[in-house]
Amino acid sequence: MARRIVRTIIQLIILSVALVTFLFFLDIRYSLLPTQIHNLLQEHHAGQVITDITYQSCPRVSLFGCAINEGWVRIDKDLFLGKGLFTQGYIQFKRMKEEELNGEKVVVDIRIRRSEPAASEGGGGGDAKWEPRPGGVWIKRSPRAIDGAVTGIDVLFGPDAAEVRPGWELREGSLAVGESPRISVREGAPPADPKKPVLKFRSDQKFKIIQISDLHLSTGVGVCRDPEPVETADGCEADPRTLEFVGRILDEERPDLAVLSGDQVNGDTAPDAQTAILKFADLFVKRKVPYATILGNHDDEGNLSREDIMKLTASLPYSLSEVGPTLGERVLDKKGRGGSEGGVGNYHVEVLAHKGGPSALTIYFLDTHSYSPDEKKYRGYDWVRPSQISWFKELASTLKDKHGHNSYSYIHLDMAFIHIPLPEYRLKDRPIVGGYNNGPREEPTAPQYNSGFKNALVDAGVSVVSAGHDHANEYCLLDDGKESLWMCYAGGSGFGGYGGYNKYQRRVRLFEINEPLDRITTWKRVERGPDKDKRIDEQILVEGGKAVQPK
């Protein structure tokens, strides 16, 4: 009996390997695998070089689809982003292992030009010549495999596209087809994965966090919604204006950590989410500012799933983002993409005391998902699930010993960031600072179901939680029951999302943690207007390690 079971298992393994191999080779020619799988497959492989590149177009409606040329690999991004009335088009390339070249030419440079680049441009030596390819692509190839050979190629979109991945470089100019597609190239061997930054209080024993929420970035420059003042609406490009605003505050405030609390990507206008992600990452990589992200309800409405987005973000320089543990059962989203019931991006970050050693501050990040899983009973938005609360409670109970919280000289502090606010954000007759006449500018869109996460935060010693989601809400509200918790909003920063509500100015929130005073102070900064250079609604949230009444 045991032998029969072992034989059956071996046969199943062999059959599975054969099936996967068959699908892989069949997919190379006909692209059978779903887009979300292609998005996870790297378009480059260590030890391989690219030997040719081309652009291929085909009818948007075809019985046979857009076939891949034999021996070629396709970057699975339609250069028309699905907007072509009759046409779709793709970049394809050939690649080979270096040891199998046998005199085959390798690509050593790529340019996007209307006319032939000068012979002196690019590398490859005198035996490398520029060769034209469709769409305004020029490639230079050499019969010799050299260190500078192209080993990776990708497509991004828009004049404001950015590239931050180590070893990659975005080429100037757009292809002559589609929605301003651009070529990004990697030359040489893949670099090692970037190291995660280690956070530590400064020598003045302070630590500053900037919370940036609801950037709502697009594929391309995007269109401004409700800009203030209204006379700035003409010619307003959402993403450049958003990134310029956030970049200015980063330069002026010089934070030690940036927290992006959801809806970085405006799903409906971001058919290539990767382009939007790399744009916001560029803000922090240029300035060497560590950043951590969580997801909102719009991030995954484009071509990438929540897991794909967190994996990409976690792989970028200066990113502290994590995919986090698998919590709850495996489920499918509305587009049939896999995920876990407890979401993705549940993790924490420790900030060490200024002399190193024990942790002085713990920051928790939780996925609040998107829309209610039970619209008939609880209309609106989703909530922190029981599997997440169980994970959070267990994690919080173990960190005190693991990271030396109890051996810290001062009072260890705890904060949390979410996207969708807690139901308690609707509480009436509580101390409140900010907003419109010290009240919400818009009705808080917290979930109708209360899963009890606020109580879990209080029990774990968290004194401040801050959300995004409601673009025009930017107040802090104190739930001053038996044990207190400040519940803040960042306010929306992106011009790709709605504004309005009593001439609302886009803004960001800042927190400064003072180590010896066990104090958390907060204030806001706005994009323009008479308060552009001021700290708005500056207040002390925590003093001596405990939430305090506003003064």
Express each pLDDT in 424-433 by its tens digit.
Answer: 999 999 999 9
**CATH code for position 126:** 2.100.10.50
Residues 359 and 494 in one domain: yes
Residues 176 and 230 in one domain: no
- CB–CB of 279/285 below 8 Å? no
Q: What is the pLDDT of residue 35?
A: 41
Residues 303 and 162 in one domain: no
How would you classify the pairing of strands 464-467 and 484-489? parallel
Of 187, 222, 238, which residue sits at a domain end? 187
217's CB contacts (< 8 A; 6+ apart) are: 238, 239, 242, 243, 264, 265, 266, 270, 276, 279, 280, 494, 496
Q: What separation in angstroms does the CA of 366 have from each of 305, 325, 349? A: 17, 11, 12
Does 14 map to a domain?
no
Does 439 map to a domain?
yes
486's CB contacts (< 8 A; 6+ apart) are: 463, 464, 465, 476, 477, 478, 541, 542, 547
Residues 225 and 91 in one domain: no
Residues 151 and 269 in one domain: no
Does 386 map to a domain?
yes
Q: 518 lies in which domain range?
A: 207-547
Return the bridge partners of 546, or none.
Answer: 543
380's CB contacts (< 8 A; 6+ apart) are: 371, 372, 445, 446, 447, 448
Does 101 map to a domain?
yes
Least confident of 42-56, 161-175, 200-214, 276-290: 42-56
Residues 162, 181: Cα–Cα separation, whole Å: 12
Q: What separation in angstroms does the CA of 518 have from each of 348, 405, 406, 508? A: 20, 13, 14, 23
Residues 434, 228: Cα–Cα separation, whole Å: 19
Q: What is the pLDDT of residues 124-172, one digit of tens each?
A: 777 788 999 999 999 999 887 677 899 999 999 999 999 999 999 999 9
Q: Which of 262, 320, 258 is nearest to 511 (CA)?
A: 258
Q: What is the pLDDT of residues 65-77, one digit of tens each?
A: 788 888 899 999 9
Q: What's the domain count of the chain?
A: 2
Residues 123 and 220 in one domain: no
Q: What is the pLDDT of residue 101?
A: 84
What tokens were used for 169? 């470089």
- CB–CB of 486/541 below 8 Å? yes
Block residue for tokens 């009072």: 411
The mean predicted confidence, pLDDT, of the chain is 90
3-state secondary structure 412-435: CEEEEECCCCCHHHHCCCCCEECC
Residues 362, 412: Cα–Cα separation, whole Å: 8
Say whether 143 sits in a helix, a strand or coil: coil
Q: Flag whether pLDDT at 29 surpasses 50.
A: no
- CB–CB of 111/138 below 8 Å? yes
Q: Determine the residue type at 290.
A: P
Least confident of 37-41, 256-260, 478-482, 530-534: 37-41
Residues 140, 146: Cα–Cα separation, whole Å: 13
Q: What separation in angstroms does the CA of 268 have from each of 217, 397, 447? A: 10, 40, 22
Q: What is the pLDDT of residue 99?
A: 82
Residues 224 and 257 in one domain: yes
Share of the chain above pLDDT 90, in %: 75
Residues 51 and 147 in one domain: yes
Does 1 map to a domain?
no
Of 125, 157, 187, which residue sits at a domain end? 187
What tokens were used for 254? 């010089």
Mean pLDDT for 375-384 is 95
Residues 171 and 259 in one domain: no
Least confident of 52-61, 247-256, 451-460, 511-520: 52-61
Q: What is the pLDDT of residue 333?
A: 86
Q: Flag whether pLDDT at 549 surpasses 90.
A: yes
Alpha helices, DSSP H, located in 164-272: 238-253
Q: What is the pLDDT of residue 37?
A: 43
Residues 395, 362: Cα–Cα separation, whole Å: 11
Q: What is the pLDDT of residues 487-513, one digit of tens each?
A: 999 999 999 999 999 899 999 999 999
* Torsion (CA) 183, 189, 193, 195 in degrees, nearest 10: -110
Mean pLDDT for 60-85 is 87
Does 307 map to a domain?
yes
- Residue 488, φ and ψ in degrees, nearest 5: -110, 160
- CB–CB of 451/385 below 8 Å? yes
CB atoms within 10 A of CB 64: 8
Residues 346, 385: Cα–Cα separation, whole Å: 11
Q: Flag whether pLDDT at 352 surpasses 90.
A: yes
Residues 177 and 288 in one domain: no
Does 202 map to a domain?
no
Q: What is the pLDDT of residues 301-311, one digit of tens each?
A: 999 999 999 99
- Residue 131, φ and ψ in degrees, nearest 5: -125, 135
| pLDDT tier, 31 (very low <50, low <70, confident <90, very high otherwise) | very low
Residues 54 and 152 in one domain: yes
Cis peptide before 444 (omega within 30 of 0): no
Q: Which of 101, 275, 87 is nearest to 176 (CA)?
A: 87
Query: What number of residues does the chain have?
Result: 551
**CATH code for position 512:** 3.60.21.10
Residues 350 and 456 in one domain: yes
Does 404 map to a domain?
yes
Q: Flag whether pLDDT at 475 surpasses 70.
A: yes
Report which secondary-structure segment, H or E, holds 389. helix 386-402
